[in-house]
Chains A and B, each alone.
Chain A
């Protein structure tokens, strides 16, 4: 079972948190801090799994994470989940979130690129290049996430429900999301003009 899904940036600022077990608000914040502490001190290119922190249940739980540009994506799971499966899920979710929230090429480009470099194992050669790009478009993906918090949640809800993986077929998810977007658009015209909207 997935206990929690957390996204925070390189400074530990939470960007999305979803807990599938009841924790008090205070504990939630503590868990985020603890997880950030555990994950952020790890080098790049080490493995993507580590034992969970004490607050979330100690070594019975694993943290499975990925680090993209300025963001950490962390899933905290118990022993009943497949590590590689979850790792893959993070990746799919991440890219589809991006495709659906940020439409401009600029948004997606550096991240895709750095990912491709990582896969090909030529990160070091192009590291400088990627870093420059990251600097130019600093926080690009972060901004997308926080400005579309509801949409990211939506996509997540289509994949994970109550701590269990609901759907892994991206086409299925995309169909659902598209249907929702259509519904949303059909409702938008009723809204007031955005200028008086504060």
Chain B
């Protein structure tokens, strides 16, 4: 094992690592690690004071153990002690440990902050660097609170070393990212902009990164950076490659800085000053020209560096979208890359071209590459590249090439990787609808989709084809004929049976004249698929059958026989049984007139955009994958967007007035007790995944829930036996809730089991962790349960708390909604009037705003309202709204995946006793949910 000797720094560590590597089994490894942990623990606890070197060695071992995936729950104190060592190596290991294994233990954070403070003040650049790195790597709110004021000073101080300036810039950037509200803007901003002129290119690079992020949120404040960035860029681009010495990389002058500068410029529109603009255009042209020159080196590093700059320049050209000449050149350049032998370049070219396709100047130029892109789709070995090709085809699609592109995508779908099939299905569905001139083509395309990739066709897609067929009478006959033919395939996908069942039920009469598709043939065809289908589809088919009874009186007998059979009338599934019984009864007792009224053809759906398409149109740009992801997410929230065919026919039976007598006459058997029929399973039922024994929400649960929107503590539920109290606190995207269960009686509760129930959707967005509580609760006693909460992404529903226990001989079952709402993850943001309105304007897309006008439910008291807005979590901004009677607030919703800025405005109208509430956030679902929550409060 010659390598062991290389661990010359610390022999003990090297031996330990070798031991681990020589372990033959996982068990042996764990045993060795536990032995070591025990050893370290005893060393740390021992009487003998450890010297710095030993501490360093043991902390190193802990780091290694952590890397192998084992929890480390001690050693933090020793690491913190190392921070105050005067030896570089010890201090450095201490910082390394802290930044890898930071612990939110507040006691410790204070000590760490103290050590950092000392190092920052030490004037020793190495120590300052370590401290700044630690702040940047941990970046917690506590650290921001402690240092956000100090770091700008270090950054702009004249005597700070270059390397420290570099670190300070990035450290500040990190703190701004995590806690923008804690980083004060001030005099230092203009001095930071001037760092773009610094002699040290490392400082310039770091400053550019910082300014880019700051400028995105405060464009006015950093406007002067544009001309400085352009002149800096121009100096780099036009310099001979030797001028920049160390920063020249394989003959490319300062590629990294060029990329950063080009990124910064993408925060702003094209410069207004003609001189600056001319200079920038020169730079961009120079970069494009260089791409045409023969390479100065064959090394991949040379071409990577050169192309990194080139791609960034092209992004800027696309962002400005104002120079047709440059846009077309960019497009040609990308066209060359599409056929490059380097896979990475092909990937990036496809990606950039996607954005280029949305510019009116270059859309046509992009379209000329269609054959190359289609070829890429067919021949690329790499799925990532093929995915980009699909994206580009989607972006370049318009009326002129839709048929070709859709056909190519369909044929690709047959062999596509499973991971991207659903996405392609959505894309094909959107394109087919968007560019359909001829709706027969649209129907064919969707049926093809179902045939090729039925499993990946979501409900939304087949709902949509039905909406369109019902609303366009010119395509109904064709649709009926086509589905009838498609259903004749020996094996067809269940989705096709659904579409077929629905369409024939509505429009089967349009093809009944043809003896090949006589009513009886249609019925037999559908019924031959019946037994292969799932319950929801069978339910839909039963509705089709009753519709047939109305359309074709001649098959009534046959259908009644089917409905009467034991397999229908006594079906174990409640929904199917109910439908069979009711439909059979309806067909027997109702006159033809009543039947015709009840089973009339579905009225046209209100013209509305499909939610996938609506999503698409919002963004003028090409739809990226993200769009579709969102569309997919939205789909699950928006089940009602589709026409739930089965339900529609059921309600046609039970709601319209003629049927009211019918139900009385019909003496249908009482609906078996149990959960309400889940309407054919087509609707997402909140409780569908929970055990059937869960009680419905306790009365008053909604009201209690609403009371907790603006406060965190109080009594959530109370009856004669049980009281449930809550105490909770939230910080950023995390929270902790204590639930107190009080036994109000003098008898023990047995088998006491509280359960938290989240729907699948909610589970993905909100993570709850808790431990079970003691199953017995003595009379008069109180037990406590802690729930750790993390908001992963924005969410709408609330978790349900179900409590089951035995009291005396009886089983008790209580469900309440647990008030964990999106606004709990608010962090208030203070801002001046000017900033507020500027941001307000930035969020002016219609889908970013949600407004609600509602009647006051409580007396309209200004102070109470203020308290509620603050309790809601946002900052209450004074002197912002020109009308002093209005209330204005701002804050940031923290989730693990994103931070969402929120602005709100509440306008009371005392005379009318009404309020108007307006929410603007960068995310539609957030605006929507916050508006719902807050409007319930007044």
* Bound CA span A85–B53, Å: 39
Closest residue of A by beta carbon distance from B628:
A59
Contact A187 B6 (CB under 8 A): no
Extra contacts besides A14-B69, A46-B382 (19): CB < 8 Å:
A16-B67, A25-B71, A47-B343, A58-B629, A59-B629, A60-B626, A82-B311, A148-B9, A150-B9, A150-B96, A161-B174, A162-B137, A162-B139, A168-B247, A179-B126, A180-B88, A184-B9, A184-B89, A197-B57
> Which of B12-20, B459-467, B708-716 lines the interface with chain A?
B12-20
Q: Does B472 sit within 8 A of A, measured CB to CB?
A: no
Distance in angstroms between the alpha carbons of A85 and B10 in the assembled complex? 35
- Is the CB–CB distance between A166 and B167 below 8 Å? yes
Known A-B contacts A85-B308, A147-B7; A50 and B206 likewise in contact (beta carbons under 8 Å): no
Instruction: Please indicate the chain A residues that have their CB under 8 angstroms from the CB of B868 in the complex.
Output: none
| Contact, CB under 8 Å: B53 / A18 | no
Cross-chain contact A165 with B205 (CB below 8 angstroms): yes
Which chain B residues lie closer than 8 Å to A165 at the CB level? 205, 209, 256
Contact A161 B133 (CB under 8 A): yes
- Distance of A114 Cα from B12 Cα, bound (Å): 34
Q: In the complex, how many angstroms separate the beta carbon of A69 from the nearest chain B beta carbon?
A: 15
A17 to B6, CA, bound (A): 22
Report 19 cross-chain contacts, Cβ distance below 8 Å, ordered by A residue. A46-B384, A51-B387, A80-B263, A84-B308, A119-B299, A143-B6, A147-B7, A149-B60, A150-B9, A150-B60, A161-B133, A161-B136, A162-B173, A164-B206, A165-B209, A166-B167, A166-B202, A168-B256, A176-B163
CB of A146 closer than 8 Å to a CB of B: yes
How far is B636's CA from A166's CA once the two chains are assembled, in angstroms?
A: 42
Tell me the complex Cα distance, A150–B92, Å: 9
Q: Which chain A residue lies CB-closest to B384?
A: A50
Q: A47 to B350, alpha carbons, bound, how many Å? A: 13
A 137-154 contacts with B by CB, 8 A: 140, 143-144, 146-150, 153-154
CB-CB contacts below 8 Å: A47-70 with B: 47-51, 57-60
Residues of A within 8 A of B57 (CB): 197
Which residues from chain B contact A161 at a C-beta distance below 8 Å? 132-133, 136-137, 167, 170-171, 174
B549: interface (CB < 8 Å): no
CB <8 Å contact, B344 and A49: yes
Interface 0/1 of B1-43, CB less than 8 Å to A: 0010011011111110100000000000000000000000000
Alpha-carbon distance between A48 and B347 when the two chains are bound, in angstroms: 9
| B136 proximity list for chain A (CB < 8 A) | 161-163
**Chain A interface (Cβ within 8 Å of chain B)?**
1, 13-18, 20, 22, 25, 29, 42-43, 45-51, 57-60, 80, 82-85, 87-88, 91, 102, 119, 140, 143-144, 146-150, 153-154, 157, 161-172, 176, 179-180, 183-184, 187-188, 190-192, 194-195, 197-198
- The answer to whether A84 and B167 touch (CB under 8 A), given A51-B384, A102-B6, is no
Taken together as a complex, chains A and B put the C-alpha atoms of A198 and B348 apart, in Å, by 51
The complex places the Cα of A102 from the Cα of B170 at a distance, in Å, of 30
B113 at the interface (CB under 8 A from A): no
Indicate if the CB atoms of B53 and A192 lie closer than 8 Å.
Answer: yes
CB within 8 Å of A: which of B77-105?
87-89, 92-93, 96, 100
Contact A167 B202 (CB under 8 A): yes
The minimal Cβ–Cβ distance linking A191 to chain B, given in whole angstroms, is 5
Instruction: Pick the residue among B71, B298, B304 that contacts A87 (CB under 8 A).
Output: B304
The answer to whether A87 touches B7, judged by C-beta atoms less than 8 angstroms apart, is no
Q: Which residues of A contact B205 (CB under 8 A)?
A: 165, 167-168
In Å, the complex CA distance between A191 and B305 comes to 44
The answer to whether B64 and A146 touch across the interface, beta carbons within 8 angstroms, is: yes
Q: Closest Cβ of chain B: how far from A188's Cβ, in Å?
A: 8
Q: How many Å lie between the Cα of A143 and that of B312 in the bound state?
A: 38
Q: Is the CB–CB distance between B173 and A45 below 8 Å?
A: no
Q: Does B558 make an interface contact (CB < 8 A)?
A: no
Given A161-B170, A179-B126: A59 touches B625 (CB 8 Å cut-off): yes
- B15: contacting residue among A47, A60, A198, CB under 8 A: A198
Q: Is B618 an interface residue (CB 8 A)?
A: no
Q: Is the CB of A84 within 8 A of B307?
A: yes
CB distance from B206 to the nearest CB of A (A): 6
- Asked if A172 meets B305 with Cβ closer than 8 Å, knowing A48-B344, A85-B255, A149-B63, the reply is no
Task: State the CA gap A14–B304 with chains docked (Å).
Answer: 28
Look across to chain A and name the residue whose beta carbon is closest to the beta carbon of B60: A150
Complex Cα distance, B386 from A47, in Å, reads 11
Residues in B with CB closer than 8 Å to A15 are 67
Q: What's the least CB distance linking B89 to chain A, in Å? A: 5
Distance in angstroms from B201 CB to nearest chain A CB is 7
CB nearest neighbor in B for A24 = B790
Q: Interface of B with A (CB < 8 Å)?
A: 3, 6-7, 9-15, 17, 53, 57, 60, 63-64, 66-69, 71, 87-89, 92-93, 96, 100, 126, 132-133, 135-137, 139-140, 163, 166-167, 170-171, 173-174, 177, 201-202, 205-206, 209, 212, 246-247, 249, 255-257, 259, 263, 298-301, 304-305, 307-308, 311-312, 343-344, 346-348, 381-382, 384-385, 387, 625-626, 629, 897
Find the B residue at minimum CB distance from A16: B67
Report the minimum CB–CB distance from B245 to chain A (whole Å): 9
Q: In this complex, what residue of B is CB-closest to A119?
A: B300
In order of increasing CB-CB distance, the 8 nearest A-B pairs are A162-B136, A162-B174, A46-B382, A84-B308, A47-B343, A183-B88, A168-B256, A147-B7
Contacts of A162 in B (CB 8 A): 133, 135-137, 139, 170-171, 173-174
Cβ 8 A contact of B202, one of A58, A87, A169, A195: A169
- Report yes or no: B67 in contact with A17, Cβ–Cβ below 8 A: yes
A29 to B71, CA, bound (A): 11
Q: Name the residue of chain B whose CB is nearest to the CB of A146.
A: B17
CB neighbours (8 Å) of A176 from chain B are 163
Contact A20–B343 (Cβ < 8 Å): no
> Contact: B381 with A46, CB < 8 Å?
yes
Contacts of B381 in A (CB 8 A): 43, 46
Contact of A169 among B11, B173, B246, B626 (CB under 8 A): B246
Whether A187 and B67, one on each chain, are in contact in the complex, defined by CB atoms closer than 8 angstroms, is: no
Is A46 within 8 A of B256, CB to CB? no
Inter-subunit contact B344/A47 (CB<8 Å)? yes
Provided the pairs A161-B167, A164-B209, A184-B89 are in contact, do residues A169 and B344 lie with their beta carbons within 8 angstroms? no
Complex: A45 Cα to B384 Cα, angstroms: 13
B756 to chain A, nearest CB (A): 19
Closest to A198 in B: B12
In the assembled complex, which residues on chain B have CB atoms less than 8 Å from the CB atom of A43? Answer: 381-382
Do the beta carbons of A20 and B10 come within 8 Å of each other?
A: no
A164 to B132, CA, bound (A): 13
Q: Is the CB of A167 within 8 A of B308?
A: no
Give the distance to chain B from A108, nearest Cβ to Cβ, in Å. 13
The CB with the most chain B CB atoms within 10 A, among A13, A16, A47, A187, is that of A47
Q: A14-B69, A192-B53 are in contact. Are A166 and B166 (CB under 8 A)?
A: yes
Contact A172 B246, CB 8 Å, known A88-B301, A163-B174, A187-B89: yes
Q: Name the B residues within 8 Å of A172 (CB-CB).
A: 163, 202, 246
CA distance A88 to B249 in the complex (A): 10
- Collect the chain B residues with CB atoms within 8 Å of residue A22's CB: 139-140
* Closest Cβ neighbor of A185 among chain B residues: B89
Of the candidates A47, A148, A149, A183, the one whose C-beta lies within 8 Å of that of B67 is A149
Q: How far is the CA of A168 from the CA of B3 in the complex (A)?
A: 30
B96 nearest in chain A by CB position:
A153
Q: Which residues of B contact A17 (CB under 8 A)?
A: 67
B-chain residues with CB within 8 Å of residue A148 when the two chains form the complex: 6-7, 9
Within the complex, the shortest CB–CB distance from B198 to chain A, in Å, comes to 14
- Chain A residue at minimum C-beta to C-beta distance from B57: A197
**CA–CA, A18 to B133, complex, Å?**
13
Q: Are A88 and B304 in contact (CB under 8 A)?
A: yes
Q: Which of A17, A57, A146, A184 has the most CB of B within 10 A?
A: A146
CA distance A190 to B7 in the complex (A): 18
- Contacting pair A47 B64 (CB below 8 A): no
Contact A164 B88 (CB under 8 A): no
Which residues from B are CB-within-8-Å of A191? 53
User: Which of B3, B93, B249, B312: most chain A CB closer than 10 A?
Assistant: B3
Determine the chain A residues whose CB is within 8 A of the CB of B174 once the complex forms: 161-164
